[in-house]
Amino acid sequence: MRKNGMKRAAALTLAAVLALGLCACGSEAASQTATALNGAGIAPCSLSQGEKDVLEAFGMFGRSKLIAFCGPEGASGLTVHVYRLGMDGTWEETGGGSIGLGQGGISQGQSGEAGAAGNVSEGALEGTFALELGKDYTVSFRINSQGTASYETEPIFLEKEIVGSAVGFLEEFREMELDEEAPVAVMAYDSGTRMRSFSTEDYFEPSKFEGIDLVQAVTLEFTSGETAGEQPAPAAAGVTVMREADAG
């Protein structure tokens, strides 16, 4: 278990480093981020063949995504939601985390039943989001925005043997407004021999996943108001939150 955890941490770190270099986000000029994203919203980072080869070497290609984000005016936080489709055909939140603008840098915390929360220095809410899907159906992510917050969901154990899977990632720029959830990944796993493809837009029509053994989704949401800046509760197990200075 410890070895797998270290491997995932290394993989997320690699993804985050690639994202920072590729998307020109973070502490440099805010205009660079806006240009790369065509405005406020989210967009996948483009990869060269060499960068794809690096991800392939780490076993991450095809089950990871690097996304740049730039919050709209008034955004004071970014929240990640992780869902599992319930038996009744509705999304049930199983984890997530957040990072927000505030005084005093990053602080550890909890979002929902399990997650990560922190505050970043005052300024534009922009950075990168690295996502990795585990073979045990875990969802790991790392938020980078003048500080970092990372999180991994608990493994899921299924009684049926999964023989087919389909993953749909965000593939183009998406403009976003405050308090709007936008899907960046949908994952379907089934014991049947036939599997259709899915896109992130299928998140809004969960009936399309009817009959599939396991369906998960990850969304991003820019938040505003006092809730985004509140001091979070103590960190949950499996959560790592650090200040930018700690990374060195």
> Per residue in 9-34, pLDDT tens?
555 555 555 544 444 444 443 444 44
pLDDT digits (tens, 9 = 90+) for 175-224: 999 999 999 999 999 998 888 899 999 999 999 999 999 999 999 999 98
How many residues can be counted in the chain? 248
Residue 190 pLDDT: 96
Residue 49 binned pLDDT confidence (cut-offs 50, 70, 90): confident
- Whose tokens are 């949950």? That residue is 236
**DSSP track, 89-102:** SSEEEEEEEEEEE-
| Bridge partners, 43 (sequence order) | 68
Residue 238 pLDDT: 35
Residue 227 pLDDT: 47
Residue 123 pLDDT: 59
Closest CA to 96 of 243, 246, 236: 236
Residue 203 pLDDT: 98
| Bridge partners, 169 (sequence order) | 185
pLDDT digits (tens, 9 = 90+) for 81-116: 999 999 999 999 999 988 887 633 333 333 333 345
Rounded Cα–Cα distance for residues 73 and 82 (Å):
25
Average pLDDT over all residues of the chain = 75
Torsion angle of C-alpha atoms 200, 203, 208, 212, degrees rounded to 10? 90
